[in-house]
Structure 1
Amino acid sequence: MINFNGEILPVATNLLQNNRAFLYGDGVFETVKIRDNKILFLEDHYFRLMSAMRILRMEIPMNFTMEFLEQQILSIANANRCSVSARARITVYRNSGGNYLPETNTVSYLIHSFALDDKVYYIDKKPYEIDLYKDYYVTKQLLSTIKTTNKAINIVGSIFAKENDLDNCLLLNESKNIVEALQGNIFMLVANKLITPPISEGCLNGIMRKQILALAKKMGNMEVVEEPISPFDLQKADELFITNVIKGIQPITKYRKKEYKTDLANQLLAQLNALVQLC
């Protein structure tokens, strides 16, 4: 028997009491964008998921091929009638048993999907204001670069942003450098130099981050580098924008008293949509 919200129920009525993702954050996930019944950047998502499972010492099932996971994700999108444009998430978690030390490294998975309004990436023209979130820090380690089900700092940071009428916040590492935004990687344009923090700073190894780095390098009219960004650098920037696979590119228009242009973000967005057309 278990106590669920004050009601004594048989264990079998609740699927979470032994779920390690729920109890210990012992899980990893990928969020993908589906367009016309195709998963964008599928290969990148697949290999990042496999890498995350290996880092957490999970046993990768023999049937976990890229084709198998693609079929599983698209099957739920089709069942939910949202395969034209959708957001889907696959969560892989270690099977039940044990406390901190698991009894098994075998895994199960859960996939769900939701319809999106737009097939193409677009930029909302509304103002987008950010600030720093300094209550807690991201550590410069390998675990910070993967998508685990332990996202406490993103949750409390998002609450902080809402309480302060902000659209987003930037996270810092223990060196007080900028790591990323609450929902994506950060890019900064200073003159003709585009900068994003390296993975060694503790930022997520983002799928859209990879695409934007490649697109920016092909433009040929700017230097594209991965190097640390300090909070003081934000005041020197001409543009700031956030990237993730669902939104694509989100320009930042204001940080404290500093306002930013959105020219490069719009140029990259056009190239990104052209790329997606070829996927």
Structure 2
Amino acid sequence: MVNFNGKLVAKQEDILSAENRGFKYGDALFESVRFVAGTIFFWEDHYFRLMASMRILRMEIPMEFTLEFLESEIKRTVQKNGLEDGPVRVRITVFRNDGGLYNPLSNNVSYLIEAVSMDASFYLLNDGPYEVELFKDYYVNKDMLSNLKTTNKILNVVGSVFAKENGYNNCLLINNDKQVVEGINGNLFIVNGKTIKTPPLQDGCLNGIARKKVMDVIEASEELELAESSISPFELQKADEMFLTNSIQGIVTISKYRKKEYGNSMAKSLLGKLNAKARLES
């Protein structure tokens, strides 16, 4: 079952028209959240990012779109699918209502909530091989729209196809200045000794929730130093570790880039602290 504007319907049911603006123009936003034992990991951060993104895209925020309302709709969707006893991946998509060409007839919105079961209740570290390569065919724009979690993800789709065709687990995306911005499905961090570096939002990376939480963990440590600055491709092979972050997987460690192989001791330590932070803040 999926939740379309508060109505729970079968996944197979036709609920979106041919005029859907998310389909026709990518005029939509989404949040992917982890739901465990009745709580949503970092829900306030996800909610306020969604509201801020809607304002940037000039979508009309419904009066009922409170934090409590959307949380209750998520819980209702999870329960209707019989998934409340296990970990769940939830996706909330918000799109401008049908009508218009590039210029919409209305800024009013609809929402769709989906729920799918997951294996683990908390973030687990991937121990197997995980090789990445630069994707250089197309570039991430250095602007605020790139910071938003919109459904305009054709660059990520083409990059994923490239990775699959060439036997890579993921690709790293670059911007017009040829700086490394992020992975296909996560923010990038590189480790050199006690310094952990991640690209700034000004370079065009997603304003990720897991990115923010990992940065909080690093800044709270007396031993570690956080550097939020541009990363050139030449730095990648000099790093001790590289990892990606996203709200569903937490931290994904990169084991190989070209001829360089990486450890994961720092990522393992940070993942434990991220899990602890999830328990405290959820």
Give the TM-score taking structure 2 as reference length: 0.93
SS in 2 for 1:236: coil
For residue 41 of structure 1, what is the aligned residue in structure 2? Answer: 42
Partners of 1:76 and 1:113 within 8 A in 2 = yes
Hey, what's the Cα distance between the residues in 1 that align with 2:16 and 2:272?
44
Give the aligned partner of residue 78 of structure 1: 79
Q: Are residue 242 (structure 1) and residue 234 (structure 2) matched?
A: no
> Which amino acid letter does the alignment assign opposite residue 112 of structure 2?
L
Aligned equivalent of 1:53: 54
In structure 2, which of residues 160, 163, 187 is the aligned counterpart of residue 161 of structure 1? 163
* Equivalent residues of 1:16, 1:22 under 8 A apart: no
Q: What code does the residue aligned with 1:40 have?
A: F
* In 2: Cα distance, 1:274 partner to 1:97 partner: 45
**Superposed displacement of residue 217, structure 1:** 1.6
Deviation at 1:97, TM superposition (A): 1.0
Q: For 2:68 and 2:224, locate their aligned partners in 1 and report how far apart those are by CA, in whole Å.
A: 37
What is the CA-CA distance between 1:16 and the residue it aligns to?
2.9
Match of 2:222 in 1: 220
Check the 8 A contact 1:33/1:86 in 2, yes or no.
Answer: yes
Matches within 5 A, 1:54-203: 54-83=55-84, 84-203=86-205
Following TM superposition, by how much is the alpha carbon of 1:77 offset from its aligned partner in structure 2, in angstroms?
1.0
Q: How many residues align?
A: 267
Q: Which amino acid aligns with 2:219?
A: K
Give the conservation status (yes or no) of the 8 Å contact 1:238–1:260: yes
Distance in 2 between the 1:14 and 1:71 partners?
21
C-alpha distance in 1 between matches for 2:209 and 2:272: 18
Contact in 2 for aligned 1:161/1:168 (Cα 8 Å): yes
Cα distance per residue 1:218-251 (max 9 Å; x no partner): 2221211100000000011000000001000011
Deviation sequence 1:126-164 (CA, Å, 0-9, x none): 011000001100000000000111100010100100001
Counterpart position of 1:4: none
- 1:228-275 Cα offsets, whole Å, 9 max, x none, are 000000011000000001000011010000011100000011111222
Query: What's the offset of the Cα at 1:15?
Result: 3.0
Aligned residue number for residue 32 of structure 2? 31
Q: Deviations over 1:98-151 (max 9, x none)?
A: 111101000001110100011011112101100000110000000000011110
Matched residue SS, 2:237: helix
Is 2:274 the counterpart of 1:272? yes
Residues 22-60 of structure 1: per-residue CA shift (max 9 Å, x gap): 011111111111011111101100010011111111000
Contact 1:60 1:106 in 2 (8 A): yes
The runs of at least 4 aligned residues of structure 1 exceeding 4 Å deviation read: none
Query: TM-score normalized by structure 1?
Result: 0.94
- Mark the runs of 5 or more structure 1 residues left unpaired by the alignment: 1-12
Aligned match of 1:10: none
* Partner Cα distance (1:14, 1:261) in 2: 47
- Code of the residue aligned with 1:18 in structure 2: it is E
Cα offset for 1:215?
0.7
Question: How much has 1:14 moved relative to structure 2?
Answer: 7.3
Query: Tell me, what secondary structure is at the counterpart of 2:188?
Result: strand
- Listed as ranges, the gaps of 5+ residues in structure 2 are 1-13
Q: For 1:188, give the aligned amino acid.
A: I
**Root mean square deviation of aligned Cα:** 1.0
In the aligned structure 2, how far is the partner of 1:103 from the partner of 1:47?
26
Match of 2:9 in 1: none
